[in-house]
Amino acid sequence: MNKYVVQSLHPRFDHRVEQIDDLQDDLGRKIIAQTIAGEIRGNKRPRVIGVYGSWGAGKSYLLSQVIKELLAGNQDSKQVIVCVFNPWLYEMEGGLAPGLIKSLYNLEKQFPGRNPLVSDTKIYKEIADSLLDLLVEIGPALMPGGQFLVTALGKMAQAALRTVDEYNKVVDSALSKPAVDEVKDKMQKLVNAILDAAYKQDASKEYRLVIFIDDLDRCSPENMVRMFEWLKVHLLVEGCIYVLALDHIAAARAIVGRYKEYLGEERDLAYGFRYLEKLVESEYELGTASNVELMALRQVFGANTPYKRVSEIARNLRGGDFPGVRSIDELLELRSLLVPRTMLKIVYKFKRAMDVLLTESTTELRNQLPSSYPFWTLLLIAMYYRLDPNHLDEFVRGRGIIHNLMKNPGSVPSDKWGNGPLREFCQYADRFGASTGASMQLPQTEHLFRLTSVIRENSFDQSLYAY
């Protein structure tokens, strides 16, 4: 076994809400989970609770923490029945609302032994079946915009309708139904039947249903907004609370795009946020966690790892200090890198890259690299995950805005630094060039190219490169 290799685990980059065992509160969000659980238990009104955050911010993991809190608290008189709905599983079916009803139909299969026991499943399953049939029957009348025409034309073709009069009968038949009242009435009956099934099992308890909807922002913008419409008009009924996890900025964009024809010139995100404010009564936005780096280290190297910073691992692997080791800490404090999933990927990729670089087969390459190569490896990995590929390619070729600022701080005016992660990297490059650049020159282009090859391929073929 190579003495330089640091053993690691195989971290999970995608968490399923149903996975509530062995949860670790590495991001320090247990208090948020307890607060949400307390709000659910303390309020009977139908409502939507929103958990907001960018992709990879840990929303799904927080939902699992909330569910665990709720189920663990089912020891008192107030019992919570938990249902998880993953809308992206139904993305290809054209509509998400039927998927939610299907999740309720199979409720007894969710968290067996932890959810309150339900009897007489036949009753609520029959109601769920009738509700699904109703959604299929009147779906066209409830679809926004052109969806009605498309579905109606499909019915026309299926029924071999050949005249406009026959077509109009199909349309009039769908529109004549009291769609809103009928769907909402059946939804209320379904929720009541589920609660009654639990009550019959233990009449000494009080029950409520909580539906967790995760990763709605993984669905198409059309389906996302359509789900909002279903929630707002048809699905909010007594005895049921929804917890909705999504990227609220992406949702606002989808809402504005859906209603752009009606907004005129006012197509900014403010309308999307106002729409969400009307739907979502209580919001929890996940900010930047203070210990994201430590979380990633524990995921990659185990809960008992002695390392608290990536710079400590880099120093250990190099056998002591090296130029740039202190710059690693500042790099990993960039806000755009503090997204939990992003940090986890960076740390795992760094571990894999160093495993390759410290093998005997890469001795010749390692001797060609500057002693600061762990820092440059980490910088390239960070750019790989957060910037446009063109920015990384430009840097590797010894040009581009980040390379220029590192080599000659102040050489590019700040109004040319762009926005978002790119601007952060430019600010970092400018500070690096001013404080560290004189003592640590940038690697040659051929070295950057080889390091990038290791990062991208997780391997290195010495025979492909002639020195």
**Rounded distance, CA 109 to CA 105, Å?**
9
3-state SS class at 57: coil
Q: Looking at the predicted structure, is the pLDDT value of residue 1 above 90? A: no
Hey, what are 193's tokens? 């039947």
Exposure letters 56-87 (e unless 16+ CB within 10 A, then b): bbbbbbbbbbbbbbbbebbeeebbbbbbbbbb
CA atoms within 13 A on the CB side of 292: 25
Q: Quote the distance between the C-alpha of residue 92 and its chain's center.
A: 19
**Rounded distance, CA 130 to CA 128, Å?**
5
**Rounded distance, CA 422 to CA 390, Å?**
12
Share of the chain above pLDDT 70, in %: 85
CA atoms within 13 A on the CB side of 158: 7
83 forms beta bridges with 211
Cβ atoms of residues 100 and 87 within 8 Å: yes
**Rounded distance, CA 350 to CA 373, Å?**
12
Sheet with 282-285, strands from edge to edge, namely: 78-85, 206-213, 240-246, 47-52, 282-285
Dihedral sign computed on CA atoms, order 395, 398, 403, 406: positive
pLDDT in tens, 229-283: 999 888 899 999 999 999 999 999 999 988 877 776 666 888 899 999 999 999 9
Average confidence (pLDDT) over 131-154: 55
**Which amino acid belongs to residue 171?**
V
The residue extents of the domains of the chain are: 30-285, 292-462
pLDDT in tens, 165-189: 554 454 445 444 456 678 899 999 9
pLDDT in tens, 317-367: 888 898 889 999 999 999 999 999 999 999 999 999 999 998 888 888 888
pLDDT in tens, 339-348: 999 999 999 9
3-state SS class at 282: strand
**Rounded distance, CA 87 to CA 226, Å?**
12
Please name the helix (run of DSSP H) or strand (run of DSSP E) that holds residue 284, with its range, or none. Answer: strand 282-285
Mean pLDDT, the chain, whole residue set = 85
Cβ atoms of residues 234 and 201 within 8 Å: no
- Is the pTM higher than 0.85? The answer reads no
The pLDDT of residue 45: 77
pLDDT grade, residue 32 (50/70/90)? very high
CB-based burial of residue 410 (10 Å sphere; 0-12 exposed, 13-18 middle, 19+ buried)? Answer: exposed
